[in-house]
């Protein structure tokens, strides 16, 4: 970037500080990801699209992976999951998994997989990335409601079992690189998760619709 352009970017940044500038950068990052994918994304392209400079990006995010992680966090925040109390564990879990599947599009899965090389080079992995971008609050709330209603035997819960529905959803998305069907969601619930956590007096789960 030339001296004149650097000065222009500096003046623009002085007018767009804090959240305003960050929002412009992350929106530009997402636009670049949508158009070119992770592997072709460059900080120069993001800076150019957002009307700032590469040093400004580096002051906020130490690497391309960090910048894209922030863009993913923003994407998920713009598409939050919302599962009200439906008075039924199975219905709430089905709604949660449907919403998670709908926002984790094949493009999002491809971005996360493509980041693995950069993450490994930085001594991190996809599990670390997941801890930054995924909010387990809705799942935890559903489980607590299920325990309170007597639908879940808390003695059968472990951290791995509690995360199993979401883990299987992610695995299916990665393996198929396609959308998640309702049939798959109900297989996860009725044949795997609910039999593992239901109280003995709850009986068999309903048949798959």
The model's pLDDT over 35-55, given as tens digits with 9 standing for 90+, comes to: 999 999 999 999 999 999 999
Find the radius of gyration of the CA atoms of the chain.
Answer: 21
Q: Domain ends where: 74, 101, 128?
A: 74
98-130 in b/e form (b: 16+ CB < 10 A) is: ebbbeebeeebbbbbebbeebbeeeebeeeebe
Mean pLDDT over 157-169 rounds to: 94
The verdict on 188 and 87 lying in the same domain is yes
The verdict on 158 and 102 lying in the same domain is yes
The verdict on 87 and 173 lying in the same domain is yes
Q: Which domain holds residue 38?
A: 3-74
Higher-confidence residue of 3 and 17: namely 17
Q: Which residue reads 């559903």 in tokens? A: 142
Pair 115, 65: CB distance under 8 Å? yes
Closest C-alpha among 147, 150, 155, 188 to residue 169: 188
Q: Domain ends where: 74, 93, 111?
A: 74
The verdict on 100 and 168 lying in the same domain is yes
The verdict on 36 and 135 lying in the same domain is no
The verdict on 89 and 29 lying in the same domain is no
Question: Does residue 207 carry a pLDDT above 60?
Answer: no
CA dist 22 and 18 (Å) reads 6
In a domain, 146, yes or no: yes
Tell me the whole-structure pTM to 2 decimals.
0.79
The verdict on 154 and 191 lying in the same domain is yes
């Amino acid at each position: 970037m030339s001296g004149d352009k650097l000065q222009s970017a500096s003046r623009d940044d002085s007018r767009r500080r804090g959240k305003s500038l960050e929002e412009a950068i992350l929106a530009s990052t997402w636009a670049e990801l949508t158009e070119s994918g992770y592997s072709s994304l460059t900080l120069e392209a993001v800076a150019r699209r957002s009307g700032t400079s590469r040093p400004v990006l580096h002051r906020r995010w130490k690497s391309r992976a960090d910048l894209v992680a922030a863009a993913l966090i923003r994407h998920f925040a713009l598409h939050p999951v919302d599962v009200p109390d439906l008075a039924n564990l199975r219905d709430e879990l089905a709604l949660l998994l449907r919403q998670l599947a709908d926002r984790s599009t094949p493009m999002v899965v491809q971005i996360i997989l493509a980041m693995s090389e950069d993450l490994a080079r930085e001594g991190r992995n996809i599990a670390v990335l997941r801890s930054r971008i995924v909010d387990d609050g809705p799942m935890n709330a559903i489980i607590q409601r299920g325990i309170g209603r007597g639908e879940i035997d808390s003695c059968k819960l472990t951290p791995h079992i509690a995360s199993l529905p979401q883990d299987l959803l992610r695995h299916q998305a990665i393996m198929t690189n396609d959308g998640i069907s309702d049939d798959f969601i109900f297989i996860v619930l009725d044949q795997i998760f609910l039999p593992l956590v239901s109280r003995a007096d709850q009986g068999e789960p309903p048949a798959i619709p």
